[in-house]
Each structure stands twice: as C-alpha cells, then as structure tokens.
Amino acid sequence: MKQLFTGSGVALITPFKANSEIDFESLDRLVEYQITNGTDYLVALGTTAETPTLSEAEKKQVVDAVKSKNNKQVPLVVGFGSNNTKKVVEQIKLFDFNGIDGILSVTPYYNKPTQEGMYRHFMEIASASPVPVILYNVPGRTGINLEPDTVARLANASGKFAAIKEASGNLAQMTRIIKDTPDNFLLISGDDGIAIPVITSGGKGVISVIANALPGKLSSMITLALEKKFADAQKLHDEMSVLFNLLFKEGNPGGIKALMNRMGMISNELRLPLYRVSEKLYQEIGTAFENLS
C-alpha cells in the first residue's frame, strides 16, 4: 500500500489580488488543477504560501478553502511552525483537523536552538498533534540544521513522525537519515532540482514548488524515478532544469508566481516584504516556459 506522503506533493502558493486580498477563486482553480494533473498530496501554509504575511484568520480561511475544494480527494498537509514551542502547540490544540492528513513543521528559526532543544520542541509537537508530523529542515532559511542524529532520534522515539522534508541540499546528510531511520519513515526532497538524486539515494518524492505551474510534468518525473526509470525521469528533469534555476533566482515564491502569471493562472502579486521578480527575470522565465517540450 502506498504511503500517504510518497510521490509528488505541492507547496501551494497563496494567490493575491491587486488589492492584496487573498484570491480564493484562483486558489480553488489551483487545487482542482493539482488534483486533475496527478499531484499526490497538497501542502497548505508552507513557505511558498507566504504564510508569515497571513493573519490567523486568513490562515484558517486558506485551509478551509483548500479542504473544501479538495474534499478528501488527495491527502492534505498543513504547515505549523514557530520558534516558540508553546505557541505552536497551542495552535495545534485549537485547530480543527477534520480533513487534514498531516502537518509540516519547520525547524525553529532565528533563535538557533541546540539539537537537544529541537528534539524536545518536536517531541512536544508530536505529542499535541492528532495527525502524522513531517519534519521540515531548511537551513538556508532558518539558520539552523536539524542533524541526522536528531532526525533519527525523533523518528525512533515516536511513530508520529512520518517523514522529513529535507531542503539542506546535502545528499550525504540525506543518505544518513535514510540509513538511520525506520523503514516507514520517509525522506522527501525539498528541492525540485535534486529530486531525482534524492530518490536514487532512497528518498520517496518531493514537496515541489514548480508543481504549482507544471503538476503533470513534475508528477510524471517523480513517478518515473520511483519506478527506477531514471533515464526517462531525467529527460523530464532536463526539460524543466532551466526553470528550476530561474524560479529561485530572485527568491521564492516570486519566481513561481511570475511563471503562473505568464501562464494566465494568477495575478503577479506578493505581499511585502516579498515583491514580484524583475522584468528581466520575468521575461527569462517566460522564454524558458515557451521552450518547454
């Protein structure tokens, strides 16, 4: 039986209107687009969703909208992260988990806890959460790395930990995590561009940014890689490789929103302090999209 969080997950954007309000019509269309084009599961309120710019009321509205449109067609994961353990535990306890299949919880940012502090932080989250927990390690954003020994310690301490989204870019670290954690604990790539090498090393998929715009192509690439059809998967990777790089050239989600705007899917709007990409990069992204096979 396929595990919940294998394959192609998508880190959903939050579409905005020109007046900076959430564009729920575009969000509905985006969820439907993902489901009909092979995305295996949805992730709401992650980094790509510009979650720090959303109010608590807006976060609830986004989750409710995604949950309603999804209607349990594919698994749904919701982001819960903070550098204040008590705060995130309280948020989890107050949350309605009906229709939610897991949470994604990023390492505490800014205050740089020790490995022991992070272990205790995540154990508190696991204890509070009624659904499986996906750890999220992204040192480039948080300033702290969740070490393989700590990941293994967490995975072996509680069955509540289902996976880790690894965005360190360190394949040696990922290999250690795969080796030292239980067989049912999944390692998920946090980077589209190295998803195939991660799967080759034993990873089980990706939580993708580019899938917002190209869910079918990304899903096919991941499925082929998981079936060990690496040559065919690599062909799809190569088709998207220029976009993989361009989408992060001026930060995420500026790049993916530019691509989706170029495709006519959304307005090219972000909330400050994030801002749309430069006109030069917008044109480069458009050219790369036109050159897709």
Residues involved in catalysis:
136, 165
pLDDT single digits (tens) 257-281? 999 999 999 999 999 999 999 999 9
Q: What is the mean pLDDT of residues 183-192?
A: 96
Q: What is the per-residue pLDDT for 293?
A: 63
Q: What is the per-residue pLDDT for 133?
A: 98
Q: Could you tell me if 167 and 191 are in contact, meaning their C-beta atoms sit under 8 angstroms apart?
A: yes
Q: What is the per-residue pLDDT for 204?
A: 97
114, two tokens = 């020790």
179 Cβ contact partners less than 8 Å away, ≥ 6 residues apart: none
Asked whether residue 243 carries a pLDDT value surpassing 90, the answer given is yes
pLDDT single digits (tens) 59-102? 999 999 999 999 999 999 999 999 999 999 999 999 999 999 99
Q: Could you tell me if 259 and 266 are in contact, meaning their C-beta atoms sit under 8 angstroms apart?
A: no
Nearest-CA neighbor of 288 among 249, 230, 232, 234?
A: 249
In this prediction the pTM is 0.95
Helix axes 215-226, 230-246, angle to 10 degrees: 140
Q: What is the per-residue pLDDT for 1?
A: 43
Q: What is the per-residue pLDDT for 3?
A: 76
Q: What is the per-residue pLDDT for 2?
A: 60
Asked whether residue 147 carries a pLDDT value surpassing 80, the answer given is yes
- Specify the residue for token string 């458009």: 286
**CATH architecture group of domain 7-227:** Alpha-Beta Barrel (3.20)
Q: Could you tell me if 101 and 130 are in contact, meaning their C-beta atoms sit under 8 angstroms apart?
A: no
Going from the C-alpha of 250 to that of each of 7, 66, 192, 218, 269, the distances in angstroms are 27, 27, 16, 22, 15
Q: What are the structural domain ranges in the chain?
A: 7-227
Percentage of the chain modeled with pLDDT above 90: 98
